[in-house]
């Protein structure tokens, strides 16, 4: 790739993609097996599109409704590493003060999008997003306010398009012509159920091609050049035309659905094919690593993906484990500054076959 899309800060994309991956690696390999994280959801493979979208949501009423795999977007919206770890470890001072799973998000506006409070059930994120888009329309059309082309964005996985919330929001947005962008991150799995059992033909974008008053985009969520064009085009269209759109991004799910899912239902060939689509090495190659170099992403991706540097916690010394458990934030910051981590292909907390989380 010779040129970077000018609408984005690629150095930030690289740095936050690495931060998100380091968080997932630390939780999967250390904190969950040690019992410090009870229920972990990885965003491995979903980072690129989320981070790009986060950078474009800067208008005063821009808002997003997210789901449990949206931590990269949260980091791009101003969520800190400390807040991410505090939430996942159910500590006081986290978003829910330790009363909810760490990936049930909300966030007051921090320069970028306001993140609406979300619930954990699949599909519940859609109608709040549609409601926010309707409120923007009300401010603009009824109150006569200048909303500065603000929009609402809703993120969801391909499994969630079978939910009533998705279809309700879609109907609201199309019939009321709402400034709503639906972003479907399609990894072809709803837990262990493949896409052909969730969506006829495995592609909700194709199925909605005849849906009235809905603009559709469909493409890669792992190729930086293609994803950047799709994201910028979709956001600009909804802003300018004040009507809804659906963006389907094809991404791999590089870890299990959650920390209790070992992906035993996937063959070795399927896993290898998914890892071949990992966006981290693709980001390394952006414009000759010009963006990745200063973030340390290049050295992070240079390990070739053999996973040997991401050893499970039981192989570490007791002292090393205690250091990690006492100050996980330092581990993340060290990883960002030295970038001596490698891409791990383990990607599952549960021991294969028994579905249980191993203890330290």
How do residues 229-238 score in pLDDT, each as one tens digit? 999 999 999 9
Average pLDDT over residues 114-120: 91
CB contact at 8 A, 303 and 342: yes
Over residues 119-130, mean pLDDT? 92
- Select from 197, 137, 209 the least CA-distant residue to 161: 197
Within 8 A by CB and 6+ apart from 241, the residues are: 215
Question: Whole-angstrom Cα distance, residue 348 to residue 181?
Answer: 32
- For the record, the structure tokens of 205 come out as 């974008």
| Residue 37 tokens, joined | 């994280």
Q: Say which range, 30-39, 55-64, 70-79, has the weakest mean pLDDT.
A: 30-39
Residue appearing with tokens 């968080």: 23
Report yes or no: 214 and 244 within 8 Å, Cβ to Cβ: yes
Asked if pLDDT for residue 309 goes beyond 60, the answer is no
Residue keyed to tokens 């150095």: 11
Position 97 scores a pLDDT of 79
Helices marked H in the chain: 10-26, 47-56, 71-76, 81-88, 126-141, 164-176, 204-207, 224-241, 268-275, 279-284, 290-295, 297-301, 318-326, 328-338
> What's the pLDDT at 354?
34
The distance of Cα 153 from the centroid of its chain, to the nearest Å, equals 13
Can you tell me the distance from the alpha carbon of 146 to that of 150, in angstroms, rounded to the nearest whole number? 9
Asked if the model's pLDDT at residue 308 lies above 70, the reply is no
Look at 9-18, 56-65, 76-85, 308-317 and tell me which has the smallest mean pLDDT.
Answer: 308-317
| Among 142-146, 294-298, 326-330, the least confident range | 294-298
Look up residue 336 and give its two tokens.
């960002």
pLDDT of residue 31: 86
Could you tell me the domains of the chain? 41-250 (3.40.50.970)
Tell me if 96 sits within 8 A of 89, measured CB to CB: no
Q: Tell me what pLDDT residue 316 has.
A: 57
**Is pLDDT above 60 for 68?**
yes
Distance CA 111, CA 58 (A): 6
* Residue carrying structure tokens 């837990």: 191
Starting at the earlier edge strand, list the strands of the sheet with 63-65. Answer: 114-115, 63-65, 152-157, 180-186, 245-250, 215-220
Query: What tens digit of pLDDT does each residue of 236-281 get?
Result: 999 999 999 999 999 998 887 887 777 888 999 999 999 999 999 9
- In terms of pLDDT, which residue wins out, 181 or 307? 181
Note the pLDDT of residue 319.
Answer: 56
pLDDT at 321 over 60: no
pLDDT in tens, 325-350: 667 777 667 666 655 434 445 555 55
Query: How does the average pLDDT of the chain come out, rounded?
Result: 83
Q: What is the pLDDT of residue 341?
A: 36
**Residues listed for the chain:** 360
Does residue 80 or residue 305 have the better pLDDT?
Answer: 80
Q: What is the pLDDT of residues 154-180, one digit of tens each?
A: 999 999 999 999 999 999 999 999 999
Average pLDDT over residues 198-215: 95
Cα angle: 251, vertex 257, 262; to 5 degrees: 115
Task: Read off the pTM.
Answer: 0.85
For residue 30, the 8-state DSSP code is I
pLDDT over 80 (residue 190): yes
pLDDT number for residue 343: 43
What is the pLDDT, as a whole number, of residue 315? 52
Cβ neighbours for 131, distance < 8 A, ≥ 6 positions apart: none
User: Comparing 314 with 66, which gets the higher pLDDT?
Assistant: 66
Region 36-59 average pLDDT? 93
């Amino acid at each position: 790739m010779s040129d970077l899309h000018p609408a984005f800060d690629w150095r930030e994309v690289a740095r936050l993609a690495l931060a998100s991956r380091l968080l997932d690696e630390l939780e999967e390999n250390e904190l969950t097996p040690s019992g410090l994280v009870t229920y972990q959801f990885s965003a491995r493979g979903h980072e690129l599109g989320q981070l790009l979208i986060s950078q474009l949501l800067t208008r005063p009423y821009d808002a997003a409704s997210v789901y449990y795999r949206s931590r990269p977007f949260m980091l791009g919206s101003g969520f800190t590493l400390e807040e991410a770890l505090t939430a996942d470890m159910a500590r006081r001072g986290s978003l829910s003060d330790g009363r909810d799973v760490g990936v049930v998000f909300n966030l007051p506006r921090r320069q970028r999008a306001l993140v609406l409070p979300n619930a954990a059930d699949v599909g519940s994120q859609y109608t709040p997003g549609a409601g926010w888009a309707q409120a923007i329309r009300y401010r603009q059309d009824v109150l006569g306010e200048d909303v500065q082309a603000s929009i609402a964005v809703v993120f969801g996985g391909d499994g969630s398009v079978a939910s009533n919330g998705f279809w309700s929001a879609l109907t609201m947005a199309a019939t009321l012509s709402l400034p709503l962008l639906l972003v479907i991150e399609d990894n072809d799995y709803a837990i262990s159920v493949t896409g052909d059992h969730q969506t006829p033909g495995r592609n909700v974008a194709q199925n909605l091609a005849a849906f009235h008053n809905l603009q559709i985009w469909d493409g890669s969520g792992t190729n930086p050049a293609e994803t950047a064009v799709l994201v910028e085009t979709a956001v600009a269209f909804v802003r300018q035309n004040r009507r809804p759109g659906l963006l389907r991004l094809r991404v791999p799910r590089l870890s299990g659905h959650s920390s209790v899912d070992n992906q035993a239902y996937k063959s070795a060939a399927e896993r290898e094919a998914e890892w071949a689509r990992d966006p981290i090495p693709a980001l390394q190659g952006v414009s000759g690593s010009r963006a990745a170099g200063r973030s340390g992403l290049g050295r992070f991706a240079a390990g070739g993906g053999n996973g040997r540097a991401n050893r499970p916690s039981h192989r570490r010394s007791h002292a090393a484990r205690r250091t990690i458990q006492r100050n996980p934030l330092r581990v993340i910051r060290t990883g960002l500054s030295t970038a001596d981590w490698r891409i791990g292909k383990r990607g599952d907390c549960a021991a294969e076959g028994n579905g249980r989380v191993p203890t330290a």
